[in-house]
Every structure is written in C-alpha cells, then in structure tokens.
Amino acid sequence: MNETSLHIREVVDVIGGAPSMRDSLVRDSWRRCVDQHGLDPTRRQRAHVLPDSRLREHRDPLESLIRTARFGLESLYRQVAGQDYVVLLSDKRGISVDYIGDRGREGALHRAGLTLGSDWSESHAGTCAVGACIASGEPVVIHRSDHFDATHIPLTCTAAPIYDARGELAAVVDISALHSPPDKISQALALQLVRASTLRIELAHLMASFRSEWILRFSRSQEFVDVDPEAAIAIDASGRVVGTTHAGRKLMARALGLDWRSMPSLLGRSFSEAFDVELDELPRFTRALPTCDRSIRLRNGERLYAHAAEPHSSSGGQAQRSAAPAASRAIPATLQGLSGGDEQMDRMLVMAARLADQPIALLLQGETGCGKEVLARAIHDSGKHSGPFVAINCAALPETLIESELFGYVPGAFTGARARGRKGLIEEAHGGTLFLDEIGDMPLSLQARLLRVLAEREVVPLGGSRPIPVNLRIISATHRELADHVRSGAFREDLFYRLSGAVLRIPALRSRRDLGWLLDRLLQSGGRKSNGALRPVRVSRAAREALEAHHWPGNIRELVNVVELARVLCNDGVIELDDLPALRAQASESTGVDAQTQAGDGASKLAALLRECHWNISEAARRLGVDRTTLHRRMRRIGLVAPNRRPH
C-alpha cells in the first residue's frame, strides 16, 4: 500500500473511532472535515487561488494590519528562508492576503497552494495549519500526514493567530515548507518563531492604532520590558481599556480571575480593575524612571515590570480611536462623545449618525434620565439643519397649555391670550428639530392634531384658519413601551408609525460597560453646574466599586447628582464611600422589602404607581408592601412630590 492509501485508511479509521497517536487537535479537525465540511478523504482537492478582484475583497479590510505586519513577516522570512519555508498571512477566512517566498520556486509553491490568494480554510483544504488555527484560535503545527487531504502530505505548516485590539481573531501567520524532516518535533522552533512574530505584529498594530492613548507594555523581566515586552494594553484619557494585544487580554483576565476564552469584552473597563495603579500614576512608568522602579502589581498578586508610552497628541480620548470599526470612525464627534466604548451604545450611535441627516422621524426609547434629550440634541447638532432645536415636555404641561404651546394662537383666540397672538413651538422649530419629550403622555385629543401636522406639514394656530407650512425634523422620546400604549388604546397607532420611522434604544446605565468612563468624565469635567470651574476630583477604589455596583434607577441624571453631591462632601479631592450617602441609604434599604422599585426604572415605576393610586400614599404603600414612612422616604430621595404638596 502506498503512502496515500495508508493515509486515507488512517483518516477513515480515526473518524470511525479507532485509537490514534495524533494530537487531539488533528483528530478533531479530521472529524470536522467530514461531519461539518462534507469532505471526502479519498478525493484530493486542487489548490484554489482567488483571482485578483476577489483577493482585493479580502485584502481591503485588513489593509492597515497588512501594512503593519509586513516588516514582521519579512524578519520572519529572513529567519526561516534558509530552511525553504514561505511565509503567508491569511485573513480569518483562510485566504492568504500576503505572501513571501522564493521567486525561483514559484511554480512548485503555486501548485502546492503556497501563494498569494490561496484558500487555506478548513472547509476547502481540509485539515491544515491555517484552518486549524482559525478553528482553535491557538498556534498549531500541522505536519505532513496530519493534513486531511493526501495532496498536502509533503507539507509542514505552522501557524499562529493575530488578534485585533478588541480581542477578535483578525489574521493568521503561517510558515510552510515543501519538504521537512519526518518528526513533528522538528517544528518546535518554527512554532516559537511564528508565535514571537505574531506577538510583535499585534504589539506594533496596537501602537499604530492608538497613537493618542497611553500604551502600557509588560514583561516579567526588568531587562526586557523596554526592548521586548510580552503584552500591551491601550488606555484612554479616562483610564478605560480601549484595546489590548492577545497576551494583554490574557494578562487582564488572569488579574481579574476570569477565563479569557469566555470573558466578555474588556473594552470600556477601567484598567485599575486589573492593576494596583490609578490613571494619574501612569507617568511613573515612563522611561523617566529606571526599570527596577517600574514594578506593577496585578490584582491577583502577580508582579510584572511595565513601560508606559505616553499619548502622542494631547487630543486623547476616543475621538482618536483609529482601531475602532470603520463605521464608528464616521460618527460625528458630538455623537461619539456619548459613549466610552459600550457596545450597545456604539451600535445605536452608528445608526443615529446614519440617520442624522435623513428626513425620518426618530423615536428614542430608554429609561428616565438615560440621556434621551442629550442624544436628541447631539443628533440635531450633527445634522446639517440651519433651524433651531426646540424641546417640549409633553408630560410637564397641562393639556390646555400643550395645545397653545405647540400650535400657537392667533390674537384673541381665547381669554387670557396675548393680544398679538403667539407663535407655536412647531412653527418655531421650522428648519430645525422639534423634540417631543415624554410623547407617551400626550393626550389623545392632541395626538390627532399632531398627526395632521406631520401628515400635511402645516400647522393651524388655535383660533386661526390659515395653515402655515412647516418643514421640521421630529424626534420624540419616551421611557414607556409606546407599542404597549398603542395596544391598550392610549396611543394612536397611526401617530406611533409616523413618529417611529426609526427607533433608537438607549441602554440603562446599569447595563452599560462604560459606566466607569462616564463617571470619570463627570469627575474630571467639574460637573454640570460648575461650567468646568471646579477642580477635578478622584474617587477611592471602594467608592468606585460601590458606584459601579449601584443599580442606577435614575440613570445618568442620578449619577450626575450623586457626583455633584460627593464633590461637595469629599475631603482632599478624593471621594470616599462616606461621600455617597444616597447609595448607602439605598443599599441598606434594599435589604428590606424594597426589591420591587429597585428593579427596572424604579423612579418612574413608582411615579406611575402613585398616579394610578391618585397619590394616595397609603394605597401605594399597601400595593408595594412597604409602610408609609418607607414610601415617603423613597419619594423624598428621588424627588417625587404629590401634586397637592408642590410649592406654587
């Protein structure tokens, strides 16, 4: 029996369950080839090389990585060319997007698929180093008869993955040779070389992608930390992680006691969660100090040496995040400034940016205080409208006033009307944006009139008969599920469809991964009321943990208030747990029967319940299962006052 027949029989036997000395990674791949990819070990596949036009589709998305990786690939080639290896860079679908090989042997290499544009995906080529590396995410050696397809038996291939700054597999570096010694162990050095090469490429790519951020690089050796670091992370101006090398990600996972394989994204997390160092201490890790003084402790107790490379420009922060996806780069700064890397926010902002200049009515949904109005303004500011942004809170105005506010009135329209009449807000927003906040609270009678304005693009003031044409963009917002109101008949279905040309959902603060980033921005900015005049404050670790663990029923509004109070209460510019009285009160209260209003948008749910009970406190307390004193205390805390008690 010849070598090919023996190989095919072994593959068939192993797939059938026969014991084997092959690596488990090879056996698993052989099984996938048959079970998932429908390959047949008896049928040999020819190398599949993509034409230039198709190759471009694979090269273009990796353009900057290919550019950065080139020097690394060339150095790798210089190290292995003497042993007749070629170097391939493949994308995550297995297509080789860059290649370095011996020109003199191009014909033989091309026939073996060792060339630019060849398809080394497992589903096409069967078990091979590139395909197995993509499937496992790990460095691999696929040596000679480890290959599934007998065509590839002469080859030895070694591959290692390149991860992008977000921790996703981006590419694979592979070195392959047409001839090799029979033993797999002969490739141990090849494996080390490829691994070292991917580590440097990831590092170079991170440095090139985050020029405006801090780059913290690590080594176990104080002698090597400045010359050959093992891992790196990029940190923005507020101390959030914005990118990592693969080793940096593993290092942070270790520090946090997590498994890197199942770990959620690290982006947006404070780097201080993993290291015993705060943002303002980073300058002490620059080259200004000798390496022996640059020891850094991970939260798991491990010690490493660090080198902090300062941001290249002072613009800092996320506007410069060049490794962010192409779509987010196109987001105007006003919108981009609303997220510190939270994935839900980023996705929503990409959509908002695309819609900013479209004549499509937007409906913003999200819990109270999560920033709906701030988003509406940012969308308006990033569009090309020349007109103003006009906001109206449909829940805050009595029914009679909403009508005159919105539509305006002609002289003498009703008793008490101004003699010269009044322009309505709809007319004032002409050429700009009308923001209808709490649209879910708009009375049914007015919904019909608003619908007419939207349908006919004209407004008739109260008491008037002549319609005035208006051209405006409507953005409405609600913390309610408007679709439920439509079902219950409280909101007109036709208006709902007119208003919700696109729905943007803003996540609750408690579910945002960039809560810490937002907190740092508020701490640094000096707060809303200060106009930036107050000196920035810092927050102790215990206080930060409490802030990050809090449920935030009032969302960003509550966070702003908590920070403003803490700023006033704190000593020496450091906010401690004691400076967060609202959180402490809530924490102790939540150990009681308080869960009902803690969950979800507590403040707005409580307000809705009170309205349902016609502000009868005893009734509301009974329904909540708490006593009246507790309910009064809770109302005071979130600023809810019964209508008959409000100061005039």
Ligand X SMILES: Nc1ncnc2c1ncn2[C@@H]1O[C@H](COP(=O)(O)OP(=O)(O)OP(=O)(O)O)[C@@H](O)[C@H]1O
Chain contacts with ligand X (rule: CB under 6 A): 338, 366, 368-374, 437, 477, 479, 528, 556-557, 560
Q: How far apart are CA 614 and CA 610, in angstroms?
A: 6
CB-count burial class (<10 Å; 0-12, 13-18, 19+) for 477:
buried
For the bound state, the minimum distance from the C-beta of residue 433 to ligand X, rounded and expressed in Å, comes to 14
E strand spans, 528-644: 538-539, 574-575
Q: How far apart are CA 525 and CA 531, in angstroms?
A: 8
State whether residue 213 is helix, strand or coil: coil
For the bound state, the minimum distance from the C-beta of residue 392 to ligand X, rounded and expressed in Å, comes to 12
For the bound state, the minimum distance from the C-beta of residue 368 to ligand X, rounded and expressed in Å, comes to 4
Identify which of residues 98 and 437 has a Cβ nearer to ligand X in the complex. Answer: 437
3 to 147, 154, 265, 356, 565: CA distances (angstroms): 13, 11, 47, 65, 78
For the bound state, the minimum distance from the C-beta of residue 508 to ligand X, rounded and expressed in Å, comes to 10
**Cα 645 vs. chain centroid, distance in angstroms?**
44
Find the angle CA(88)-CA(91)-CA(93) to the nearest 5 degrees. 120
β-pair partners for 478? 365
Residue nearest to ligand X (CB): 371
Identify which of residues 361 and 556 has a Cβ nearer to ligand X in the complex. Answer: 556
**Cα 185 vs. chain centroid, distance in angstroms?**
42
Identify which of residues 122 and 601 has a Cβ nearer to ligand X in the complex. Answer: 601
Identify which of residues 268 and 366 has a Cβ nearer to ligand X in the complex. Answer: 366
For the bound state, the minimum distance from the C-beta of residue 335 to ligand X, rounded and expressed in Å, comes to 10
The residue type found at 147 is: H
Identify which of residues 116 and 338 has a Cβ nearer to ligand X in the complex. Answer: 338
Find the angle CA(50)-CA(54)-CA(59) to the nearest 5 degrees. 100
Task: Give which of 126, 125, 133 is closest to 15, Cα–Cα.
Answer: 126
Identify which of residues 15 and 395 has a Cβ nearer to ligand X in the complex. Answer: 395
Angle, helices 581-589/541-549, rounded to nearest 10 degrees: 50
Identify which of residues 11 and 394 has a Cβ nearer to ligand X in the complex. Answer: 394
For the bound state, the minimum distance from the C-beta of residue 231 to ligand X, rounded and expressed in Å, comes to 32
φ, ψ of residue 87 to 5 degrees: the values are: -115, 130
For the bound state, the minimum distance from the C-beta of residue 339 to ligand X, rounded and expressed in Å, comes to 8
Find the angle CA(335)-CA(337)-CA(339) to the nearest 5 degrees. 90
For the bound state, the minimum distance from the C-beta of residue 514 to ligand X, rounded and expressed in Å, comes to 10
Which pair of structure tokens corresponds to residue 634? 């809770």
For the bound state, the minimum distance from the C-beta of residue 277 to ligand X, rounded and expressed in Å, comes to 26
The residue type found at 561 is: N
Angle, helices 129-136/24-35, rounded to nearest 10 degrees: 90
Task: Give which of 131, 124, 123 is closest to 176, Cα–Cα.
Answer: 131
Which helix H or strand E contains 9, and what residues bound it?
helix 3-15
For the bound state, the minimum distance from the C-beta of residue 376 to ligand X, rounded and expressed in Å, comes to 8
Identify which of residues 94 and 340 has a Cβ nearer to ligand X in the complex. Answer: 340
Identify which of residues 208 and 395 has a Cβ nearer to ligand X in the complex. Answer: 395
Identify which of residues 49 and 374 has a Cβ nearer to ligand X in the complex. Answer: 374
